[in-house]
Amino acid sequence: MSEKLQKVLANAGVGSRREMEKWIAQGRISVNGKVATLGDRVEPLDQLRVDGNLIAAAAKETICRVLMYNKPEGELCSRKDPQGRPTVFDRLPKIQNGRWIAVGRLDINTSGLLLFTNDGELANRLMHPKHEIEREYAVRVFGEVDQDIIKRLKKGVELEDGVSKFTEIRKRPGDDESLNSWYNVTLSEGKNREVRRLWESQGLQVSRLIRVRYGTLDLQNRLPQGGWIELPLTDLNTLRKSVQLDLEQESLIEDKQTKLDHVRLSRMRRSVQKHKVNQGRAKARPKKK
């Protein structure tokens, strides 16, 4: 019945498996009062602590949850920022066991679909290159794009961290005479700033970038920037199935709670606006000396 320590911690929502491996190496994890080491395996009744704090819930008792968040430009994909800038975690609902883990990252100037889960194993698999989970982006490119550029971007371009490519490139209908053109591009890796760097390798500039799909999930059209919804069991299990994880049997929400009807949408927009106002006031306050 024993399992790898980092896997148990990840399943409990403490963090991703890779992050847990780093914490174990740093001596931050203990098992039954003894500092853990990489390679340790644990039993269901073992007492686990992180930085001296007891992990209250066992991995198998935690119900998997996934949030879909529509990230605005200007937010950082980090828990805290020394400069006090807004982060993607600021508006997420509080969670009793574990914590929210971001599935991948979007840079500060990119908006769109960002997933969060309390299941570290699910997050790790969705991000791992071997599962080849597709990401689709809407991108506005400044400059002249010809068929030779499209062919190179689909064949593969050598970047500083290896070869990258788009698996699909579709131009959106619009003004063909304009130097600003919208494209939908798809790739199956998650390298840092990969979409921007691919276009920039061809001497082109990306002026807008929006993630519109992650794996099987499309960004809900009515979901306002700064708003989030929790995925129902059906969508959650479709996501788990795509990375060969066992299906969940229960959820904390009902399907009807995920629908963005007029009442819920209005409430969400008011909440987002209120949060922006509060952020502005906090930023305007003079810092204590």
Query: Residues with catalytic annotation?
Result: 107
Report yes or no: 40 and 24 within 8 Å, Cβ to Cβ. yes
Distance of CA 281 to the CA centre of its chain: 28
Sequence-separated (6 or more) residues with CB below 8 Å from residue 271: 91, 227
